[in-house]
Amino acid sequence: MRIPKVAITGRPNVGKSSLLNWLADRLISIVDPTAGVTRDRVTWIMHEGDRYFELIDTGGIGIVDSDDLSEDIERQIQAGIEEADLLLFVVDAKSGITPLDQQVARRLRKSSRPVMLVVNKCDSVKLDQEAATFLELADVPCVTTSVKANRGRDVLLEQILEMLPEVTESEQSAGDRMLSPADLRLAVVGRRNVGKSTFINQLAECERVIVSEIPGTTRDSIDIRFEVDGKALVAIDTPGVRKRKSLENDIEFYGLVRAQRSIRRADLVLMFFDATRTISRVDKQLVEEISEQFKPCIFVVNKWDLAIEQGMTIDRWIRYLTTSFESMRHVPMAVVTAKNGRNIRKLVNLAQSVFKQASLRISTARLNRIVRAAIERNAPPMRKNRRPRIYFASQIAGSPPTIMLRCNDATLLDEGWKRYLLGFLRESTPFREVPIRLVLRSRNEVDPDAVAGLSEDEPADIMDLTDDQLDDGDRSAGLDADLRGENVSATSLLMLGEGEDDFEEDFEEDPDYPAPNFIDDDAFQG
């Protein structure tokens, strides 16, 4: 079951990426005057009329890549041509026919796929009249367009629909499925050369994106849709990030922005680290972004096969990560080797478990009992000669779990006590490995009808509420059933091995086996 595919081909700098963005009506591919920006295949699902088709943006044919990735880009272009049902041959009306256009035409003639000539950058009627000269490249249907002047979009789409294969029932089913919301969106982030693209190719089970030792190979954010146990998941491969002051050009800046955007639109973030390298400032900036967005996260230590050769142990990496990111101690951790696919499936299963945990809701009555227990153990200190009073607590959202506290004055609760409360909530609720957002509302914002028996003039302290009042004020009745008898919590420091015995054999720390210099005991001193 598949939908038709339309590949956008042509020499560099004829506007292929602009054309994709224009047809999709959103920013997908990076557009820059620099030739050869697009390297991987960038795709988008289109739904026009009663037809579905997939647009594929390919790299420029004949490009000499500055990072010596020409062969890799060529493989991506050829893969796009071979899987396409229709080829859009894009040329530049302003430049006229070039030798490289003729080379592209010869290559497309060898393909058995139908071809449409798209004369782009026809910003004026005069250029439209000169478009006929391009027909010597190929005797095929021809359409003139201008992304800049927004000319010819409807005509181009109409011609594409006419040249697509006849519609089938399987196309409709596949299109509906591909456009349906994913059950889980995973953003794969990290600095350059930590193995993100290798991991994506393992999920896609093909060379979906270019993998190279050259830093900064990936430039676009690429969504890869796959299925696990009947559930649709999307993995977002993001460009590797480097320090802002080290950004060499606009392309690297676009990569940084898209990595941040991918974090915001993801349901869960896989933060990749290189097991053979120290944690950098870029890693800390990315983790800070994840924390600020309250995104569920998994720390993924990749290239573990190389770490074992250097004498690394899981215990040392656990301590290194928890010491480096003390505010993220709740984040689960996993070790993988993306190159050979070890633990990839288990990591995906762990991601589903953590996301399920973030989506849970806890009943209001149960939550208030937990908050009351926290206050009994450690009451919030007085501030400004006033004692903070908490009237009521309720969960107002999930993903991330959002807990609202209604109190006499939100400014009286200091940061230290709020950190204590978050820790207590994490230990007493199912939200052990996910971020919890606290929302404080002062007395004048409290809804007096939220709790039975309370009046607007004299709100009750949570310590004074009876169990009957808590139960009567529970507006989330029945949600306890979702939690009863079900342990959805992932083990916080879960190292994904092949089993207990394999852990002992592969990862047990050997006191006679020296650890790498970059992670020594000094690194673990608080």
Q: Residue 30 carries which side chain, given as an amino acid letter?
A: I
Consult the annotation and say whether 122 binds a ligand.
yes
Pairing relationship of beta strands 402-407 and 390-397 according to DSSP bridges: antiparallel
* Nearest-angstrom CA–CA distance, 386 and 371: 20
Is 237 annotated as a binding-site member?
Answer: yes
Q: 485 among the known binding-site residues?
A: no
287 marked as binding residue: no
- Report whether 37 belongs to an annotated binding site: no
| 38 among annotated binding-site residues | no
Nearest to 37 by CA among 354, 223, 252: 252
Q: What is the DSSP letter of 446?
A: -
CB 237 within 8 A of CB 196: yes
Q: Is 267 annotated as a binding residue?
A: no
CA distance linking residue 34 with residue 238, whole number of Å: 20
Interstrand relation of 5-9 and 51-57 (parallel, antiparallel or unpaired): parallel
- Tell whether 191 is in a known binding site: yes
Work out whether the CA dihedral 489, 495, 498, 500 comes out positive or negative: negative
Q: Is 302 annotated as a binding residue?
A: yes
In angstroms, the CA 6 to CA 351 distance is 33
Is 193 annotated as belonging to a binding site? Answer: yes
- 57 appears as a binding residue in the annotation: yes
Query: Is 303 flagged in the annotation as binding?
Result: yes
44 annotated as belonging to a binding site for a ligand = no
Annotated ligand binding at 10? The verdict is yes
Whether residue 11 is annotated as binding a ligand: the answer is yes
Amino acid sitting at position 164: L
Q: 12 a known binding residue?
A: yes
Q: Are the C-beta atoms of residues 461 and 390 closer than 8 Å to each other?
A: yes
Is 201 annotated to bind a ligand? Reply is: no
CB 33 within 8 A of CB 84: no
148 is known to lie in a ligand binding site: no
Pairing between strand 5-9 and 86-92?
Answer: parallel
At 309, list the tokens.
């050769």
15 is in an annotated binding site: yes
Residues 6+ apart with CB under 8 A from 393: 364, 367, 368, 371, 403, 404, 405, 406, 462
**Complete DSSP assignment for 276-331:** TS---HHHHHHHHHHHHTT--EEEEEE-HHHHHHTT--HHHHHHHHHHHTGGGTTS
- 305 known ligand binder: yes
CA dihedral 504, 505, 511, 517 (to 10 degrees): -110
Query: Is 516 among the annotated ligand-binding positions?
Result: no
Q: How far apart are CA 298 and CA 264, in angstroms?
A: 15
Q: Is 526 annotated as a binding residue?
A: no
The answer to whether 304 is a known ligand-binding residue is yes
419 is in an annotated binding site: no
The H or E element that residue 115 is part of is: strand 115-120
Q: β-strand 437-441 against 402-407: which pairing, if any?
A: parallel
Tell me whether strands 390-397 and 333-335 are parallel, antiparallel or unpaired: unpaired
58 is in an annotated binding site: yes
319 annotated to bind ligand: no
Task: Please name the helix (run of DSSP H) or strand (run of DSSP E) that holds residue 333, with its range, or none.
Answer: strand 333-335
378 is in an annotated binding site: no
Residue 356 labelled as part of a binding site: no
| Rounded Cα gap, residues 273 and 187, in angstroms | 14
- The burial class, CB within 10 Å (0-12 / 13-18 / 19+), for 303 is buried
Which residues are annotated binding-site positions for GTP?
Answer: 10-17, 57-61, 120-123, 190-197, 237-241, 302-305
Which residues are annotated binding-site positions?
Answer: 10-17, 57-61, 120-123, 190-197, 237-241, 302-305
